[in-house]
Structure 1
Amino acid sequence: MEYKVKGIILHGIRYKETSLICHIYTSTFGRKTYIFNSVYKAKSKGKAAILQPLFLLDLDVFQNDKADIQRVKEFRLSYPYQSIPFDPVKSSLAFFISELLYKLLREEHPNQQLFDFLSNALLALDVLDEGVYNFHLYLMVQLTKYLGLHPTLLEEGTPAFFDLKSGHFTPIEPKHPSYMNRHLSRCFEQLYSITLTDLSTVHLTRSDRREFIDKMLEFFSIHFGGVIELKSLNVVHELFD
């Protein structure tokens, strides 16, 4: 059966000479794998160029519940980014975020709220001027709301530690090493509560950002049952250094 769906590209791999297989998070089916035939042929007029990580697409697809890879009839950009592909910081963040989502979004079930959040966040990143260096941290924290991992916050102003194992804040320092210190815990609370327009108000040093990302990856690893390692992490660290 044919469907019209919206999708966010997570990862792509070249298939044979002219085709591309992409993992896409869709509004209708959750995560799906699609084959884009003949996109590298000369007559395709650069169609492969728009199949990049985190690009937003409108797709006409054939859905076969018995098939592992679905076919694409037509596709086009939902929104042509104005800065993400050309800004070195934003494009590096896009690769980091796409790899993170590729590892985290495993379910073939629709989650319209999550899809809308991701789409709107990416559109915001494209026009964002201030606080860009905190965007990926914001997205990691916000994802907890949509993946069933959102923590219980303590009363405002209460010194706390974010316990990665329990997934909650505690006023008592945990006796195990899987937690955020008070400063990073406070930054987590800020990133959980603020909007994208206030990203520049979250103050983190380069070393803070490194540790924050490491702790968030540890948190996701604990609750998703496997170590989550990202090849793009070193690129992001080097860029910010």
Structure 2
Amino acid sequence: MLIKTKGIVLRFVKYKESSVIATIYTEKEGLVSVIANSVRSKNSAGKIALFQPMSLVDLVLYFNHSKNISRVSEIKSTHPLHQLKQDPIKSTIAFFLTEVLNKCLKEEVGNQPLFTFIEKSIIDLDTRKDAFHNFHLIFLIKLSQYFGFRPVSTNDFIEQIANKSFYKDKKNLAKLEVLLTSDFEDVILLESTTRYTLLLDLLEYYQNHIELGKIKSIDILHELLHS
């Protein structure tokens, strides 16, 4: 059957001479694998760009619940994400978020609130002119709510990580407290080492609930934010 849905591209691999197989998180069906033909040919008019990670798209799919892969009938961009492509810090944050989402998103059923949160977050990161150096930290905290394990307090968070001594310093504890209740537009002044420590602790917190494995982009992100 044909279905129309919005989607967020998470990754793709080349397939045969001119096709790709992509993993897309969709509004209606959750995580789906799709094949798109002739998007890498000379006459494809740059369609391969639509399959770059974090691309926001409208899709028409030949979809069958009994099959592992669906075929793309139509695809178009819903938001060009110019800044995510041009700004090195935003690009690196987006790369990190994509890596985390690839680990976290498993359900093959629609979850509109989760989809909408991710979609709006990507657009927010793309269009935001300032106050985005802590975006990835706030995103992780907000995302955890949709998986049912958002920390309800600083104590709840600290009890689930090994680095408890870091938060015995009242300044560090205060930063954590602010972070746990912040929105993307809030300005939080963090030293790069503190930001890095908070990120590592957040990922450890996630590991207690979801099997993330190693997140390879952490060091690149830290290096860029530190420069």
Same fold (TM over 0.5): yes
The runs of 5 or more residues in structure 2 that have no matched partner are none
Q: Match of 1:194?
A: 182
Shift of 1:85: 0.8
Shift of 1:219: 1.2
* Alignment of 1:163 onto 2:154: no
8 Å CA contact retained: 1:29, 1:108: yes
Q: Distance in 2 between matches of 1:110 and 1:178?
A: 36
CA-based RMSD: 1.9
Q: Match of 2:191?
A: 205
Q: Distance in 1 between matches of 2:74 and 2:172?
A: 45
Q: Match of 2:139?
A: 139
8 Å CA contact retained: 2:100, 2:212: no
8 Å CA contact retained: 2:104, 2:212: no
Q: Report SS of the residue matched to 1:114.
A: helix
Shift of 1:120: 1.0
| TM-score where L is the length of structure 1 | 0.86
Alignment coverage as a number of residue pairs: 223
8 Å CA contact retained: 1:8, 1:57: yes
Shift of 1:131: 1.4
Q: Distance in 2 between matches of 1:232 and 1:130?
A: 22
Shift of 1:184: 4.8
Q: Distance in 2 between matches of 1:151 and 1:16?
A: 45
After TM superposition, list the pairs within 5 Å mapping 1:1-241 onto structure 2.
1-153=1-153, 160=155, 162-163=157-158, 165=160, 177=162, 179=164, 181=167, 183-198=171-186, 200=187, 202-224=188-210, 226-241=211-226
1:40 to 1:192, Cα distance in 2 relative to 1, 3 A: same
* Amino acid aligned to 2:87: D
| TM-score where L is the length of structure 2 | 0.91
* Amino acid aligned to 1:196: F
Shift of 1:7: 0.5
